[in-house]
Structure formats: C-alpha cells, structure tokens
Amino acid sequence: MFLARLPMTMNGVLMTLYVVTGLGRGYGAAGLVGAGVTLGMALGAPLLGRCFDKYGLRPIVAVCGIGTTVFWIAAPHLPYEALAAVAVPAGMLSVPAGSLARQVLAALVPAGELRAAYSLDTISIEATFMIGPAAGIAAITTFSPAWTLSALGVLFGGTAFLIWLVNPPIREVVADPVAPGPRPRLRSWLTGRLLATLMIAAGALFVLVGTELATLAALRANGDLGATGLVIAVMCAASILGGIVHGAVKRSLPQGVLMLLLALLVVPVGLADQPWWLLMLVLIPTNLLCAPTLAATTETVSRIAPPQVRGEAMGLQDASTRLGLALGSPVVGFAIDHSSPAWGFAAAGLGGLLIASAGLLHRRTPEPAADPAPALAAAAAGPE
C-alpha cells in the first residue's frame, strides 16, 4: 500500500506541470484538471468500497488498475479539452489505496492492536508525501513530460498488479465461519454518529491543507522560499512522531478532542510567521496532532461500521477527507489573497472547526445498535 500511494502523491504536481509547461496553459486550467481528478476520487471511493464488499478485491483492483494505466499513458497525447473531460471518470477509477489499506488492517490485526496499526498506516502516508512529490518533480524536470506521465501510468498499473497478486484479505478470517448474513440497510449504519465522524475528518483535512498553503504563502511573502523543503520536512516529522506516540499508548484522546486541538493550535501561528525558523517551530504542536487525528478517525469508522459494509464506510471516509481538501485550498487561498498569510492560518483553523462543529456536537451520541434483522429472524425461528 505504501508503493500504491506513491504515484497518487505525484499525480497532482505532475499534471499541473504538464498542463502549464507541456500544453502552455495557466495554473487555473491545470487546477481545473486536478480538481476533476480529485472530485472523481471523492465520488468513486464509496462506490468502489461497495463493490469491494460485494465482489471482493481482485476484480475491482484489476478494472481500476487497467483504467488508471490507460489514462496516464494516454494523457500526454490528449488535447487539453479532452484531458479535462476525462479527469472525473479517471479519478473515479483510481485504486482507493487508502480505504483498501484500512480494510486490510481491520481484517488482519486484532482489535486491541488496531490503534497501533492505523497509526503506522498514517505514518506511512506521511512518508509517501515526503518522497512522492519530490520524486515526481525530479522525474519531469529530468525527462520529458510525456515520458514521465506514461511512466506514472506504468507505476499505477504495476502497484495495482501487486495488490491483485498478493490479494490481501479485506474481511476477518474466523475459525468457525458462518454465513455473513444480509447486507445491513444504509439507514441502519449510516447514523448521525458516523456522519459526525466523517464531518470531523473533513474539517481536519481542511485544517491540514489550509495550514500547508498558508505556510507556503508566509515563506514566499518573507522571501524564505528556499527554506520550504526543511519546514515541510519538520512538519511531516512532527506528524510522524505524534503518530508513533498515539500508536504506542494504550489509551489516547478521542477523535473530536484531537481535531479541536489541531484546529485551535494553528489559529495563532500567523503571529510568529517570521523568521522562517520561528514559523517552523510554532507549526510543530499542531502537526504533532496530524497523524493521531487521522488514525483516530479510522479507528472510529472501523468500530462503528458493520464488517459487511466496511469497504463502503472506508470509501465514505476517503470522500469526506477529499471534500475537506477540495474546500480548504480555495477558502484559505481567498483569505490570503484578501488579507495576509497570517490570516490564512486563522482561516484554516476556524474553517475546519466550522465544518466539524456539527460533528463535535454529536460526538457523544451512543453508537448504533447492530442490525436487528438477524436477531428477529432467529427469534421467529424459535428454539431448535
């Protein structure tokens, strides 16, 4: 899954550079294609998750792997209009490596070890973001854009084939298997508590993408763009450290509290945005909570959703995080354009809290009861 996520962290920057340098278009046009791919991923994640639940892993990964490979190999040969038109369906066919990884962990890892496993998975995500974009930029500046996009397609296809070959379990293997029972109705598991969890996740990603954008804007405004790599590396390292602690402790803070701290700690960062090393230091506390918040989100979704619909639930989690990403960049960017980078940090924290507010209010709602259908059927059958 680490390898499967690497090309996903490259595709945004590679598509932007290709549209701007290869097709001679502006950043707005490049952003439109990128937004289409992101929208497609958000729409496709729950649908693909439902297909995983119904048909299993191999057929879905095969279809997605072939579709994604064809798109990226064909992309450098398409005019801009065609590229923009197929961006959404191409995004929908992306292998949902994130939700798939969480399903596999839920199936393989004992319940008492899931916090550590999900924390390790989140740390793995941070590592891909430290490696992927830099590797993509190095490739497209060394080789031609057409060659780089085609190579990305081959990488997508290769990692999909590896997943297909390994075929990891996405359901728990029990010693005494019984019939899994009917698929629970949507209304029985998509409850207010689960929706609240998804809203908190969207708010957290709003904060994270907004913080990154405000950081870049502050460094650029202060003439410190050369320190960007070091600042981002320290932010990722802080998140990894937080994930290690979250996974190691026996009991951690709940998702809602972690999200609240994540957002509140970023609001005043703009008061100390120069020199660059001071900005780097004041960003550490909020980034320490990044990986724990994401891991706690996965723990909550995994605990609430029944096993029969876990793929769809994990897909909804992916969709909610992509919604937060899609909202964060333009909203925080608007705040920066019309004020200053310092207000960008405040917009990131307050905007994330606004999205998550309904979720935070419903966080104490009792967890849903199991689907009553099997129990009613057993009662109707009577004693053996």
Q: Is 173 exposed, middle or buried (0-12, 13-18, 19+ CB in 10 A)?
A: exposed
For the stretch 325-330, contacts whose Cβ atoms lie closer than 8 Å and that sit 24 or more positions apart, written own/partner, are: 325/38, 325/205, 325/206, 325/209, 326/35, 326/38, 326/39, 326/42, 327/202, 327/206, 327/351, 327/355, 328/205, 328/206, 328/207, 328/208, 328/209, 328/210, 328/213, 328/352, 329/209, 329/210, 329/213
Please work out, in degrees rounded to the nearest 5, the angle formed at the alpha carbon of residue 203 by the alpha carbons of 98 and 156.
Answer: 20
Helices 310-337 and 27-55: angle between axes, nearest 10 degrees:
170
Query: In this predicted structure, what is the pLDDT of residue 7?
Result: 86
What is the separation, in whole angstroms, between the first and last Cα of the chain? Answer: 46
Query: In this predicted structure, what is the pLDDT of residue 377?
Result: 41
Enter the DSSP assignment of 19.
Answer: I
Rounded distance between C-alpha atoms, residue 240 and residue 4, angstroms: 19
Q: Encoding tokens for residue 325? A: 């990403």
Q: Under a CB-based contact definition with an 8 Å cutoff, are residues 276 and 222 in contact?
A: yes
Q: Encoding tokens for residue 44? A: 């496709």
Query: In this predicted structure, what is the pLDDT of residue 156?
Result: 92
Helices 27-55 and 57-74: angle between axes, nearest 10 degrees:
160
**Residues of the chain predicted below pLDDT 70:** 27-28, 172-183, 186, 188, 359-384
Rounded distance between C-alpha atoms, residue 19 and residue 80, angstroms: 8
User: Whole-model pTM?
Assistant: 0.73
Query: In this predicted structure, what is the pLDDT of residue 346?
Result: 93
| Cα-Cα-Cα-Cα dihedral sign, residues 182, 184, 186, 188 | positive
Q: Encoding tokens for residue 41? A: 């991923």
Query: In this predicted structure, what is the pLDDT of residue 127?
Result: 84
Rounded distance between C-alpha atoms, residue 336 and residue 294, angstroms: 26
